[in-house]
C-alpha cells in the first residue's frame, strides 16, 4: 500500500464498496428494529446512493450529490437506538470484508459525526 493511497482504494474501489453496501443492507433489512425505514424505498437506488456516499466519505473520485443528511432524514423518527443499530450493521459488513481495524474506525468516525443530522427528535 502506497503512502498516498486513499481509504477508497484500500477498500477496493467502487466494486468492493458496492459489495460492502449490499452486505450492509442485507443485515439492515433482516433487522426488524430498523427494516421499517426501508419499506417504501427503491433499494436499488438506495444501494447506489449509499455506495456513492461511502465512496465519497472514503476519499474516492466521487462527489456525493445526495440530499443534505438532515433534510434526507427529517420526519423519519430515527432515534438513537436506530442509529446505533444501523452503525453496528455497517461495521459488521466492513469486518465481513476484512477491512482493517484502522479503516473501519475511520469510516465509523465519519458515520458517528452524522448522528446529530440523522437523529432528529
Element (H, E) at 101: helix 101-112
Residue 121 confidence (pLDDT): 62
For the whole model, what pTM was predicted?
Answer: 0.90
Sequence-separated (6 or more) residues with CB below 8 Å from residue 1: 10
- Residue carrying C-alpha cell 474506525: 105
| CA–CA dist 52, 46 (Å, integer) | 10
* pLDDT tens digits for range 75-112: 788 999 999 999 999 999 999 999 999 999 999 999 99
pLDDT, mean over the chain: 91
Q: How many CB atoms lie within 10 A of CB 83?
A: 19
CA distance 105 to 71: 26
| Span 31-50, pLDDT tens digits | 999 999 999 999 999 999 99
Read off the C-alpha cell for 48.
447506489
Give pLDDT, residue 64.
75
Amino acid at each position: 500500500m502506497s503512502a498516498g493511497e486513499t481509504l477508497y482504494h484500500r477498500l477496493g474501489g467502487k466494486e468492493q464498496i458496492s459489495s460492502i453496501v449490499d452486505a450492509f443492507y442485507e443485515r439492515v433489512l433482516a433487522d426488524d428494529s430498523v427494516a421499517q425505514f426501508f419499506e417504501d424505498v427503491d433499494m436499488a437506488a438506495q444501494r447506489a446512493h449509499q455506495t456513492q456516499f461511502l465512496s465519497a466519505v472514503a476519499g474516492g473520485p466521487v462527489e456525493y450529490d445526495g440530499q443534505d443528511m438532515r433534510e434526507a432524514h427529517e420526519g423519519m423518527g430515527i432515534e438513537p437506538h436506530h442509529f446505533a443499530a444501523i452503525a453496528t450493521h455497517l461495521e459488521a459488513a466492513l469486518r465481513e470484508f476484512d477491512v482493517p481495524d484502522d479503516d473501519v474506525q475511520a469510516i465509523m468516525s465519519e458515520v458517528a459525526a452524522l448522528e446529530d443530522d440523522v437523529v432528529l427528535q
